[in-house]
Amino acid sequence: MTSKALQEFLIENLNELKGKGLYNTIEPLEGANGPVITINGKVLINLSSNNYLGLATDSRLKEAAIKAIGTYGVGAGAVRTINGTFDLHLELEEKLADFKQTEAAIAYQSGFNCNMAAISAVMDQQDAILSDELNHASIIDGCRLSKAKVITFAHSNMQDLRAKAQQAISSGKYKKIMVITDGVFSMDGDLARLPEIVNIAEELGLITYVDDAHGSGVLGDGAGTVKHFGLSDRIDFQIGTLSKAIGVVGGYVAGKRELIEWLKVRSRPFLFSTSLTPADVAASIRAIELLGKSTELNKQLWENADYLKAGLSKLGFNIGASETPITPCIIGNETLTQAFSRRLYEEGVYAKSIVFPTVPKGTGRVRNMPTAAHTKKMVDEALAVYEKVGKEFGII
């Protein structure tokens, strides 16, 4: 028998979400998550995946995954520290360290998991964390899990960061203080002000932690935001995901040898959750090899992104202050934004609406994520739909 209290809680809260229009229905894809997707038999130009380089459907990655399944099977069979570490996992970690120009790296089962693991393995109740107010949910949860005092600073506001860091130091209450930021902020596509953050951190003795989930494979010729700013040896934690530009699944920390050694003996998802599957690892290795050999996909991504951005701006849409391929189309009103996204869908473009509470009230947007796999023809078709729907709504 189910608990009455639980049932009441669930029904009340589900109804509240539905009443407020915040209930997210999931529409399954009938096939791969490529530049074109099929939902309910409807073929759509896909502007909503994180598959920046198109690698999720790349034949070279598929071959590597299939080969690994043939050799190792489909599951790792254990956590990393029992006997779930294959030679493949170590090869991936070496490749990740090279890719990020650090001494070592450790792989986790997801980027989310990685933030939960890494923050709580080094920070505790005697410490403080300065966290950008727009940091990703997994950073927020990782900070909470650590039990450190979390002090948020205004988004990319260096004066606020400095003032709060100085306050934390002069309080004398904390043993270690960390500053933590996304490398690329996923709702607006803006970059963290890493050179300034690093200068403040070095001056005040702060630990630096950058989650570059959306920058890896995208900025710095693919190596990420830290490389883009030339700061590779000045950041303590470089976090990445294997699920976006790399096209597979998994997360990682790249950093100094002792840091990685500590995470391998102390971070809980590494110790207590079965390791990445052989197929995921082999496909990720292949992706990193490809990125190391050529910047062609990266160039194609930026070409497509620049083309889409220029097209939307020319049509008169507000695309915000993005510095990356993430291209918001800021509409404002929440209901209007959702209706706009639905009309795009009806006309054959899949671009998800993002509204409050994910972004501030009144800044509802449709977010576009162009990839290297889109053709110019697809982008032109998407722009034609934007023009039609934009005029229909009186937005342009």
- Of the listed pieces 6-14, 170-178, 206-214, 295-303, which binds ligand PMP according to CB under 6 A? 206-214
- Using rule CB under 6 A, residue 334 touches ligand PMP: no
Please say if 294 is a catalytic residue.
Answer: no
Residues 236, 207 contacting (CB under 8 angstroms):
yes
Interface with ligand PMP includes 138 (CB under 6 A)?
yes
**Shortest distance, CB of residue 66 to ligand PMP, whole angstroms?**
22
Q: Is residue 111 within the footprint of ligand PMP (CB under 6 A)?
A: yes
Q: Is 110 in the site for ligand PMP (CB under 6 A)?
A: yes
Task: Examine the residue annotation and report whether 100 is marked as an active-site residue of this protein.
Answer: no
Other C-beta atoms within 10 Å of 193: how many? 17
Q: Are 302 and 335 in contact (CB under 8 A)?
A: no
Which of 289, 349, 352, 321 minimizes the C-alpha distance to 24? 352
Which of 87, 16, 39 lies closest to 282 in space, CA to CA?
87
Taking the C-alpha atoms of residue 88 and residue 98, their distance in angstroms, rounded to an integer, is 15
Largest CA distance in the chain: 62
Restricting to residues 250-269, which ones interact with ligand PMP according to CB under 6 A? 251
Min dist CB 170 to ligand PMP, Å, is: 31
Report residue 282 as tokens: 């082999």
Q: Kindly state the tokens that stand for 217.
A: 């494979």
Coil, helix or strand at residue 38: strand
Residue 232 · residue 102 · CB < 8 Å: yes
Which one, 138 or 168, has the nearer CB to ligand PMP? 138
Positive or negative torsion for Cα 271, 273, 279, 284: negative
Site string for ligand PMP, 172-201 (x = CB under 6 A): ----------x---x---------------
Residue 237 sits in the site that holds ligand PMP (CB under 6 A) = no
- The first and second tokens of residue 186, run together, are 């996923």
| Catalytic residue from among 89, 244, 309, 374 | 244
Distance of CA 199 to the CA centre of its chain: 25
49 binds ligand PMP (CB under 6 A): no
Taking the least distance from each CB to ligand PMP, the nearer of 111 and 255 is 111
Binding mask 210-229 for ligand PMP (x = CB under 6 A): -x-xx---------------
At closest approach, how far in Å is the CB of 108 from ligand PMP? 9
- Of the candidates 139, 161, 147, which has an alpha carbon nearest to the alpha carbon of residue 237? 139
Query: Is 59 considered catalytic here?
Result: no
For ligand PMP, how many residues bind (rule: CB under 6 A)?
A: 14
Active-site positions read 186, 214, 244
> Where does this chain bind ligand PMP (CB under 6 A)?
110-112, 115, 136, 138, 182, 186, 211, 213-214, 241, 243, 251
